[in-house]
Amino acid sequence: SGKDYANSVRQTANGGYIVAGYTNSTDGDVVGNHGGDDVWMVKFSSSGIVEWTKALGGTGNDAATYVQQTADHGYVIAGYSSSNDGDVSGNHGGDDAWVVKLDSVGNLQWQKSLGGNNNDAATAIQQLADGGYIVGCYAISENNGDVFMSHGAAEFWVVKLSATGSIEWSLCLGGQSYEYAHDIHQTADGGF
C-alpha cells in the first residue's frame, strides 16, 4: 500500500530474475520493513513466480540502485542509506553509499557504508576477476570520512573493494561543479 520502486533488474544464471529497488510498504508482498524506505529485493523464477523477497535497511531511508549476480550465485547491491541501525552500520552522516552482499537466497553476508558527512551514493557495481568489486559512486562529502581529494560539489567517486568489502582504493574525479557516475565496467586492459 506504500511506494514500491524497481531500479535494477538482471537475469540470473538459472534463467530467473533479480530485481532491486526500494519500498516503504509494510504489507502485501513486503515483509520486514525496518522503517522509512528499505532496499527491497525480489527474486523471480524464469516463469515470473516470486521465489523470495528481502527488505534491507534501518530506520532511515535506504535504496538499491543497482544489482548484479556474483560468481558464487549470490548478489551484490549498490545503493545508499541514511540509516545506522538494523542491517546498516558505519554510516558517516547523511546518505552513505551502501554496498550489500547477499547469498543466493537473500541472506546478508556483509555490508559496507562508504562516504563522509554529506550525501553520497553508489550507483553501479561490478564484481572483478579477483573476487573484489569496483563501485561507481557520487560523493557530495568533501575530504572527510572515506572521501579524499574532492574538488567540490558532487564528484564521480570510484571505489575498489576487496571480496569482503574492505576499501582497497578510491578516487574522486571532477571539478568545482557537479559530476555524477551512473555506471562502471572493467575494460579489456584491466582498467575501468
Q: Where residue 10 falls among pLDDT bands split at 50, 70, 90?
A: very high
153: amino acid identity, one letter: A
Q: Give the mean pLDDT of 47-59.
A: 97
Query: Does the pTM of the predicted model rise above 0.85?
Result: yes
List the alpha helices (DSSP H) in the chain.
none
In this predicted structure, what is the pLDDT of residue 21? 98
Q: Give the mean pLDDT of 155-169.
A: 95
Q: What is the pLDDT of residues 99-145, one digit of tens each?
A: 999 999 999 999 999 999 999 999 999 999 999 999 999 998 888 88
Contact 111, 98 (CB under 8 A): yes
**Alpha-carbon gap, residue 130 to 25, rounded angstroms:** 38
Q: Give the mean pLDDT of 147-154.
A: 79
Q: Quick one: 117 exposed, middle or buried, by C-beta within 10 A (0-12, 13-18, 19+)? A: middle
Contact 59, 83 (CB under 8 A): yes
Q: Where residue 181 falls among pLDDT bands split at 50, 70, 90?
A: confident
Between 147 and 84, the more confident residue is 84
Instruction: Please give the order of strands across the beta sheet that includes 133-139.
Output: 120-127, 133-139, 155-161, 167-173
Cell numbers standing for residue 14: 538459472
> Comparing C-alpha atoms, which of 62, 76, 179 is closest to residue 134?
76
Q: What is the pLDDT of residues 85-102, one digit of tens each?
A: 999 999 999 999 999 999
191: amino acid identity, one letter: G
In this predicted structure, what is the pLDDT of residue 152? 73
